[in-house]
Amino acid sequence: MNSRERASTAPVCRLCAGPVRECVDLGRQPVSNAFLRPQDVGSESFFRLAVGICADCAMVQQLEAMPTSHMFRADYPYRSSSSDGLRRHFEQVAGWLRDTELTDPADLVVEIGCNDGLMLRTLGAAGVRHIGVDPSAGAAQAAAARGAEVRVDFFDERSAAEIRAERGPAKVIFSANTISHIADIDEIFRGVDRLLRSDGIFVFEDRYVADIIEHAYFDQIYDEHFYLFSVRAVDAMVARFGFELVDVEHIPIHGGSLRYTVARPGVRPVRECVARLIEDEARYGIGEHDTYVRFGQQIDRIGADLVALLTDLRDAGRRVVGYGATSKSATVTNYCGIGPDLVPYICDTTPEKQGRLSPGAHIPIRPHEVFADPYPDYALLFAWNHAEEVMAKERRFVEQGGRWILYVPHVRIV
């Protein structure tokens, strides 16, 4: 291959067209939420889950995108309301928006990726004009049952224009754990531009790449997390689409996330924390390729240690069960090659996942009630982001001699 050919095939940043250098390769991976029926084994879609960083704008991004039509289908099983922690969080967000931004009865809030309506039901109950947009019909149905109004659709320029024509412009557009999922992010920003009132705000929450790096949360990388946001890269991204990043708040959700507040330029004061966080990121090398190469080496170590531990426990006749059929567990099991021989089943409270097999690794998902019937010797905590809640709920497991296995930032038994 000559250098011109190489240049034409090198990965290019989805945002600024700069060169993207690969740094982490998690191998062949399935659609992380495609829990399959036993009769559907053999029909799964796989892709290479690899991450690179743009040399120009520092956006960390996947090199191959799984089509969203494979990920967010009518039977998408993720439900935000499966944890008390998230329930409390979204009630707080709703209260904050209601008290600060949505004070006039005419104000409209639009939520992108509202899922089962955890946030919108609180606003709906308070009489706030709202609409959620989510393509996952099953989740949207659950939202509607809770009194939230939902449009089963992808948010893009087309749906945003239709919502504006029907209801007028939005004072607030909110989104949690969705914006980073969408490789074609220009559609989102064109939609926001169409729909947002001139004095409105676009608020979105997503996992923070600095937390992922600091705690080696490698399983936060899966198909849906197409971008791993940093303040520097988001600041540049929103500016490219004609907006301004005016505020950033660190929140403890999913092991560490940021809440970004975006407005039209000059409309809202820019808080000094934006520049401070960008400086902190520079100090910690969050925009540097080398940082991610070291992260990749740490992932290799965690994978080897986890497989060694699970193999030893199996050979010693110990029973290990997975706890929480998270999207994260798809990355861990498929990257490490962990199947039902090492983890015979995963317990999960989500009815939509139970009775299915985990994507790629084909570990059976069983109801939460099975966990105590009888308790295993060890529980591999895939839902580590809900550790406090889970460990408080499962005190009896430990009292009866059970132990938890955690694997980030390193493999250990607690």
Q: Which of these segments, 129-137, 208-216, 296-304, 349-357, binds ligand SAH (CB under 6 A)?
A: 129-137
Question: Are residues 248 and 268 in contact, defined by beta-carbon separation less than 8 angstroms?
Answer: no
β-strands 129-133, 108-112: how paired?
parallel
**Binding partner selected for residue 390 from ligand SAH, Zn ion, ligand TYD, none, CB under the kind-specific 5 to 8 Å limit:** ligand TYD
- Chain centroid to Cα 161, Å, comes to 26
Using the rule CB under 5 A, is 85 a contact of Zn ion? no
Question: Are residues 136 and 115 in contact, defined by beta-carbon separation less than 8 angstroms?
Answer: yes
Site for ligand SAH in 158-217 (CB under 6 A): 176-178, 181-182
**Binding partner selected for residue 155 from ligand SAH, ligand TYD, Zn ion, none, CB under the kind-specific 5 to 8 Å limit:** ligand SAH
Using the rule CB under 5 A, is 57 a contact of Zn ion? yes
Q: Which of these segments, 94-102, 118-126, 373-381, 382-390, binds ligand TYD (CB under 6 A)?
A: 382-390
Question: Are residues 99 and 73 in contact, defined by beta-carbon separation less than 8 angstroms?
Answer: no
Using the rule CB under 6 A, is 113 a contact of ligand TYD? no
Instruction: Quote the least distance from Cβ 78 to ligand TYD, whole Å.
Output: 6
Instruction: Quote the least distance from Cβ 25 to ligand TYD, whole Å.
Output: 21
In the list 11, 12, 18, 377, the residue contacting Zn ion (rule: CB under 5 A) is 18
Judged by beta carbon, residue 24 or residue 176, the one nearer ligand SAH is 176
Q: Cβ–Cβ contacts within 10 Å for residue 388, how many?
A: 10
Q: Kindly state the tokens that stand for 281.
A: 């990121």
**Binding partner selected for residue 135 from Zn ion, ligand TYD, ligand SAH, none, CB under the kind-specific 5 to 8 Å limit:** ligand SAH
Instruction: Quote the least distance from Cβ 183 to ligand SAH, whole Å.
Output: 10
**Binding partner selected for residue 115 from Zn ion, ligand SAH, ligand TYD, none, CB under the kind-specific 5 to 8 Å limit:** ligand SAH
**Binding partner selected for residue 54 from ligand TYD, Zn ion, ligand SAH, none, CB under the kind-specific 5 to 8 Å limit:** Zn ion
Using the rule CB under 6 A, is 291 a contact of ligand SAH? no
Instruction: Quote the least distance from Cβ 300 to ligand SAH, whole Å.
Output: 29
**Binding partner selected for residue 18 from ligand SAH, Zn ion, ligand TYD, none, CB under the kind-specific 5 to 8 Å limit:** Zn ion
Judged by beta carbon, residue 201 or residue 278, the one nearer ligand SAH is 201
Instruction: Quote the least distance from Cβ 208 to ligand SAH, whole Å.
Output: 14
HEC letters along the chain: CCHHHHHHHCCECCCCCCEEEEEEEEEEEECCCCCECHHHCCCCCEEEEEEEEECCCCCEEECCCCCHHHHCCCCCCCCHHHCHHHHHHHHHHHHHHHHHCCCCCCCEEEEECCCCCHHHHHHHHCCCEEEEECCCHHHHHHHHHCCCCEECCCCCHHHHHHHHHHHCCEEEEEEECCHHHCCCHHHHHHHHHHHEEEEEEEEEEEEEHHHHHHCCCHHHCCCCCCEEECHHHHHHHHHHCCCEEEEEEEECHHHCEEEEEEECCCCCCCCCHHHHHHHHHHHCCCCCHHHHHHHHHHHHHHHHHHHHHHHHHHHCCCCEEEECCCHHHHHHHHHHCCCCCCCCCEEECCCCCCCCECCCCCCEEEEHHHHHCCCCCEEEECCHHHHHHHHHHCHHHHHCCCEEEECCCCCEEC
In the list 15, 34, 154, 352, the residue contacting ligand SAH (rule: CB under 6 A) is 154
**Binding partner selected for residue 381 from Zn ion, ligand TYD, ligand SAH, none, CB under the kind-specific 5 to 8 Å limit:** none
Using the rule CB under 6 A, is 321 a contact of ligand TYD? no
Q: Which of these segments, 1-9, 274-282, 291-299, 378-386, binds ligand TYD (CB under 6 A)?
A: 378-386
Instruction: Quote the least distance from Cβ 83 to ligand TYD, whole Å.
Output: 4
Q: Cβ–Cβ contacts within 10 Å for residue 47, how many?
A: 17
Closest CB to ligand SAH belongs to which residue?
A: 113
Judged by beta carbon, residue 66 or residue 176, the one nearer ligand SAH is 176
Instruction: Quote the least distance from Cβ 43 to ligand SAH, whole Å.
Output: 21
Using the rule CB under 6 A, is 261 a contact of ligand SAH? no
* Side-chain-facing half-sphere of 219: CA atoms under 13 Å: 27
Q: Which residues bind ligand SAH (CB under 6 A)?
A: 68, 72, 76, 78, 80, 86, 112-113, 115, 133-136, 139, 154-155, 176-178, 181-182
